[in-house]
Chains A and B, each alone.
Chain A
Amino acid sequence: MELWPLIKNILILDSEGKRIAVKYYSDDWPTNAAKEAFEKSVFTKTQKTNARTEAEITMFDDYIVVYKFVQDLHFFVTGGENENEIILAAVLQGFFDAVGLLLRGTVDKKEALENLDIILLCIDEIVDGGIILETDANVIAGKVASHSMDAGAPLSEQTITQALATAREHLTRSLLK
């Protein structure tokens, strides 16, 4: 067993299996062709399932993949075959909810591509080199959102605005529920 939970990759694909944003943390797929092949098989194996209310899970080629779909976006998190499935699901949920918060509830392909910078930062804040950095969607969204702050603002003010932003996110989240 791995000594700590390792994430092998995080993927967002569209409803045809094309890449929106992907990040690989493992050398299991050394070339772009290998990555695309993995994405293709993960997509075809999961596309017929209904992963819209609860995260779904599958296992193939010695990988565990947890996934969740919304609109025309498919979210995936992959781990090794001995990984604790529930930890992988927690990472997926954190990612999924954080994107939902940051895109203010309208999560679809168009919105995701228009805010690709936010999605990429979001992935960057969740996992670092395969190690889980954070799984709490509010914290992830908070870290990504704080970047839209005016850089010239003094430090104390910034923290207040940050607090306001977080409060706003909380509100959106509770309204969404």
Chain B
Amino acid sequence: MAQPLVKKDDDRDEEVEYSPFFGIEKGAVLQEARVFNDPQLDPQRCSQVITKLLYLLNQGEVFTKVEATEVFFSVTKLFQSKDLGLRRMVYVMIKELSPSADEVIMVTSSLMKDMTSKTDMYRANAIRVLCRITDGTLLTQIERYLKQAIVDKNPVVSSAALVSGIHLLQTNPEIVKRWSNEVQEAVQSRAALVQFHALALLHQIRQNDRLAVNKLVSSLTRGSVRSPLAQCLLIRYTSQVIRESANNTQTGDRPFYDFLEGCLRHKAEMVIFEAARAITELNGVTSRELTPAITVLQLFLSSSKPVLRFAAVRTLNKVAMTHPTAVTNCNIDMESLISDQNRSIATLAITTLLKTGNESSVDRLMKQITNFMSDIADEFKIVVVEAIRSLCLKFPLKHRSLMNFLSNILREEGGFEYKKAIVDSIVILIRDIPEAKETGLLHLCEFIEDCEFTYLSTQILHFLGIEGPKTSDPSKYIRYIYNRVHLENATVRAGAVSTLAKFGAMVDGLKPRIFVLLRRCLFDTDDEVRDRATLYLNTLGGDGAVVETGADVKEFLFGSLDIPLVNLENSLKNYEPSEKPFDINFVPKEVKTQPLAEKKAPGKKPTGLGAPPPGPPSTVDAYEKLLSSIPEFANFGKLFKSSAPVELTEAETEYAVNVVKHIFDSHVVFQYNCTNTIPEQLLENVTVLVDASEAEEFAEVASKPLRSLPYDSPGQTFVAFEKPEGVPAVGKFSNMLRFIVKEVDPSTGEAEDDGVEDEYQLEDLEVVAADYILKVGVSNFRNAWESMGADFERVDEYGLGPRDSLAEAVNAVIDLLGMQPCEGTEVVSPNSRSHTCLLSGVYIGNVKVLVRLQFGLDGPKDVAMKLAVRSEDETVSDAIHEIVASG
């Protein structure tokens, strides 16, 4: 890699680092900015000063409010100049200053004049600036011009308006949605980038209307898209449509697959890659579907461009997780990438090979990796370690060589994250491969002999305490553990004491020796270490008698705490010293919903030492747990059904509220999930006032307010109603959010003491018949139908009136009944004139219900339906008919 710049460097040594901004100072530049006020403007000079100001901002210099306002006002004077170049700099400057609302008014008229100017460059830029700084009120005034601009014959102007539209859609959706026709016209534009921007905006406008997106995609995939970027968008939207449409791979070809496959032959690399990636990410992709995508990615692997190699190897790496055999064809190309100059590519190639390799190739690969490990950075090493871990789980017979590899790299230099990844891997291997346990534990013991990370030492000690006593010869670990008590810092010493105690509690034969060691710890210099030793000695019977430790003692010492620590901390803070002792049973067990920030990295579950027990509870379990932890609702009995959240507010409003309906046998609980989207506000005492005057059979029995609702951290408030037992009572509820609002100082995050009571109208909520039916599928509908018998069968015919399509009618009835479609019968094949749909479910009171729906087109649009219901109870069969009749 010869650097071709040697000469240049020589030059630089002679002249001292030259920069036109050398010694630049904010104060001086602000002084210079006075030239903007000169009656005779010098465009050249003004441009220079603006560049200097931009340079300062770019370097991270901050203008005070006063300075920014002053600069802004003088910059607005520059609109007098006719100089194009200067005007461009003015535009950039205004965007950088992001003026406040009252300042924006100062430039609005100038910008509006430019927006209607004859010069294209003025129009395009003025639109971008104005849309960037404007608020909703101004938008209605300029809407007309923006609509014109979208269909402007100059592509730059058109793009500027469309891109601004995409930004504005976030803040003023109702206005932008009115531009649909113009945007649609722009999609047909001959200019590549206009088409790209128009497609992005059009999709965004229609994103909540699945049918419209479907139409958009199917019309465009027939081929009128010219721009590669727009084609990439279309591929993304197409895979979204495929994802959302019912999964009917078993019945035949996937819709739109042909389009994706066709894109693999596009002339632009970005389109080829986008399509290949989309195919690999299809749900339940088959190997036949994968093959053409893998083939083009394989070609990319030997490209001269690093970006292409990287993109291909990264995608293949992901495919290897689910379809390792599909990638094996590329193994030879992959192996040559191990020596790639770009270490990211090399690492991805290695980890892919580790996933696709077979048992016999493991040893050869490990040899290659050992050489490779020494010259890559820690972050890449972590990736390799994780790949080796999963390889070992796949080929447990190879655990010896892989475990050896791990312990070797554990001894080498490395940072905390890297070491933690190795330790985590060893821990997982010990857990999952019994034969690897003893060697693994010894590797860990050796590691803590010389470990500089307190966290890892304590975690390993804890783990030893769990696994060590269960091995064939627990005594051999004691030495390593007791060494920690001599040589380490207080935290590790305390951990070691607990581990020793665990050995003592679990292995009776070791007790006397352990007690000797624990007694020595009574003279430690650290309080915590001494306290722990004393506690263990007393509870485990350290008076010398060797007795079996009782289960309750074990539970007390080593059991887990089932209370969230945050709640315990809060309760302890609120506890005031009094006669009454603190009772841990009063600490609430409900888990606070996690703040949004933590959702940033979904799918990255903690593994290894800190991992929670596997198997996350389903939502029903989670709801049930949550509700039963609230004393007011504890006696409602078993939760029958929880609905999906229903939004009670429009998107992008001040407070976002959705509701989950929980149905019990004789109660209904509404769980309002509230989110405060205003950083400057703290809400307290949040309740929902529910007016049930249109729901006669319901009577409010309890409500649980939400104590405080800070910005962006969702919380819940509940209202419970009583209803006649077992009866599917329906009704409409109107909701009002009531709360005390307190101003929050955004800089300090502290709320003011005084709050104001306020209300916020929410949308109405309905309890419908479908809420009383559980979606429970049956595997073989015909068998279930036959065995149910015709005793309580009810059959009737209904006219559904004119409908958009048969499919729409079918979906409407499924939604109305809230039952589970069986055997894929919810999918209506296009252009068919009749359809049969099979549904199954469980009605409140645990009554099984099966429904057979036969739809037919009656005339051009009218849909007729025959409904046959079978259930274990005739009143239920009747109830189903009633739902349809009244729906």
User: With contacts A128-B163, A129-B167 known, is A57 near B121, CB below 8 A?
Assistant: no
For B342, the chain A residues whose CB sits under 8 A away are 49, 56-58
Q: Which A residues are in CB contact (< 8 Å) with B51? A: 116-117, 120
Residue of A nearest to B273 (CB): A86
Specify which chain A residues have a CB less than 8 angstroms from the CB of B615 in the assembled complex.
none
> Closest CB of chain B to A105's CB: distance in Å?
14
B655 within 8 Å of A (CB atoms): no
CA distance A135 to B196 in the complex (A): 12
| Inter-chain contact A32/B60, CB cutoff 8 Å | yes
Knowing A55-B307, A128-B163, A129-B132, the reply to whether A143 touches B156 (Cβ < 8 A) is yes
Pair B119/A84 contact, Cβ less than 8 Å: no
Chain B neighbourhood of A114, CB < 8 A: 20
Question: Are A133 and B277 closer than 8 Å at their CB atoms?
Answer: no
Q: Mark A78-117, 1 if CB is under 8 A from B, else 0.
A: 0000001111111000000000000000001010011011
Indicate if the CB atoms of A66 and B307 lie closer than 8 Å. yes
Which chain A residues (120-177) contact chain B, with CB distance < 8 Å? Answer: 120-121, 124, 128-129, 131-135, 143, 146-149, 151-152, 155
Q: Which of A4, A131, A151 contacts B82 (CB 8 A)?
A: A151
Determine if B306 and A56 form an interchain contact, defined as CB atoms under 8 angstroms apart.
yes
Complex interface residues of chain B between 345 and 404 (CB less than 8 A to chain A): 377, 379
- Are B92 and A128 in contact, with the CB atoms below 8 A? no
- List B contacts of A22 (CB < 8 A): 58
Which residue of chain B has its CB nearest to the CB of A110?
A: B18
In this assembly, does B232 line the interface, its C-beta being within 8 Å of a C-beta of chain A?
yes
Question: A132 contacts B229, CB within 8 Å?
Answer: yes
Q: Is B137 an interface residue (CB 8 A)?
A: no
Task: Give the Cβ gap from A162 to chain B, nearest Cβ, in Å.
Answer: 10
B310 within 8 A of A: yes
**A151: contacting residue among B4, B84, B200, B379, CB under 8 A:** B84
Q: Is A40 an interface position by the 8 A CB rule?
A: no
CB distance from B682 to the nearest CB of A (A): 21
Is A113's CB under 8 angstroms from B601's CB? no
- B277 → chain A closest CB, angstroms: 7
Q: 1/0 per residue B1-42: CB within 8 Å of A?
A: 100110010001000001111000000000000000000000
Q: Are A146 and B121 in contact (CB under 8 A)?
A: yes
Residues of A with C-beta under 8 A to B204: 3
A147 to B106, CA, bound (A): 25
Asked if B8 and A87 sit within 8 Å, CB to CB, the answer is no
Q: How far is it, in angstroms, between the C-alpha of A1 and the C-alpha of B18 when the chains are bound?
A: 44
Interface SS, B side? helix
**Whole-angstrom distance between the Cβ of A41 and the nearest chain B Cβ:** 11
**1/0 per position for A59-82, CB-CB distance to B under 8 A?**
110100010000110000000000
Whole-angstrom distance from the CB of B835 to the nearest CB of chain A?
33
| A134-B8 contact, Cβ under 8 Å, with A5-B232, A57-B306, A85-B307 | no
CB-based contact A84/B277 at 8 Å: yes
Looking across the interface, which residue of chain B has its beta carbon closest to that of A129? B167
Interface flag for A50 (CB, 8 Å):
yes
Query: Nearest-CB distance from A40 to chain B (Å)?
Result: 13
Cβ–Cβ contact B270 & A90, under 8 A: yes
Would you call A19 and B59 a contact (CB within 8 A)? yes
Whole-angstrom CA separation of A148 from B121 in the bound complex: 12
B215 at the interface (CB under 8 A from A): no
**Number of B positions contacting A (CB below 8 A):** 72
- Residues in B with CB closer than 8 Å to A59 are 310, 314, 344
CA gap between A5 and B193 in the complex, in Å: 13
In the assembled complex, the CB of A65 is this many whole angstroms from the nearest CB of chain B, namely 10
A interface footprint on B233-266 (CB within 8 Å = 1, 0 otherwise): 1001100000000000000000000000000000
Chain A: how many interface residues by the 8 Å CB criterion? 56
- Contact check, B200 vs A54: say whether CB atoms are below 8 A apart: no
* Assembled-state Cα–Cα distance A87/B272 (Å): 11
In the complex, A42 has a CB within 8 A of chain B:
no
The answer to whether A85 touches B232, judged by C-beta atoms less than 8 angstroms apart, is no
Cβ-defined contact, A146 with B84, below 8 A: yes
How far apart are B342's CB and chain A's nearest CB, in angstroms? 6
Q: CB distance B21 to A84 under 8 Å? A: no
Are the C-beta atoms of B200 and A4 separated by less than 8 Å? yes
Contact indicator B5/A36 (Cβ below 8 Å)? no
From A35, A72, A135, A148, name the one whose CB has the most chain B CB atoms within 10 angstroms: A135
Q: Assess A86 versus B270: contact at CB under 8 Å? Given A120-B51, A129-B167.
A: yes
Contact B19 A113 (CB under 8 A): yes
Complex contact A84–B20 (CB within 8 A): no
Bound CA span A19–B204, Å:
35
Residues 264-305 of B at the A interface (beta carbon under 8 Å): 269-270, 273-274, 277, 304-305
Kindly state the separation between the CA atoms of A151 and B166 in the bound complex, as whole angstroms: 32
In angstroms, how far is the closest chain A Cβ from the Cβ of B79? 13
A154 to chain B minimum Cβ distance, whole angstroms, is: 11
Contact of A35 among B60, B95, B197, B237 (CB under 8 A): B60
Indicate whether B190 reaches chain A with its CB closer than 8 angstroms. no
Contacts of B377 in A (CB 8 A): 45
For the complex formed, measure the closest distance between the CB of B75 and the CB atoms of chain A, giving whole angstroms.
14
**Chain A CB within 10 Å — which of B19, B58, B156, B377 has the most?**
B58
Residues in A with CB closer than 8 Å to B449 are none
| Complex CA–CA separation, A1 to B50 (angstroms) | 38
Closest to B118 in A: A155
Q: Is B203 an interface residue (CB 8 A)?
A: yes
Tell me if B816 is interfacial: C-beta within 8 Å of chain A. Answer: no
Give the distance to chain A from B279, nearest Cβ to Cβ, in Å.
14
A52 CA / B128 CA spacing, docked (Å): 34
Minimum C-beta distance from A106 to chain B (A)? 11
9 A-B pairs with CB atoms under 8 Å apart are A3-B203, A57-B344, A86-B307, A117-B47, A120-B51, A120-B54, A129-B163, A133-B159, A155-B118
State the A residues within 8 Å of B (CB): 1, 3-5, 19, 21-22, 32, 35-36, 45, 49-50, 52, 54-60, 62, 66, 71-72, 84-90, 108, 110, 113-114, 116-117, 120-121, 124, 128-129, 131-135, 143, 146-149, 151-152, 155
New A-B pairs, 13, CB < 8 Å, besides A36-B60, A84-B311: A3-B233, A32-B60, A32-B62, A45-B377, A54-B305, A55-B307, A57-B306, A57-B307, A58-B342, A84-B232, A117-B89, A120-B58, A148-B84
Interface residues in chain B, defined as those with a beta carbon under 8 Å from any beta carbon in chain A: 1, 4-5, 8, 12, 18-21, 43, 47, 50-51, 54-55, 58-60, 62, 81-85, 88-89, 91-92, 95, 118-119, 121, 128, 132, 156, 159-160, 163-164, 166-167, 193, 196-197, 200, 203-204, 207, 229, 232-233, 236-237, 269-270, 273-274, 277, 304-308, 310-311, 314, 341-342, 344, 377, 379, 601
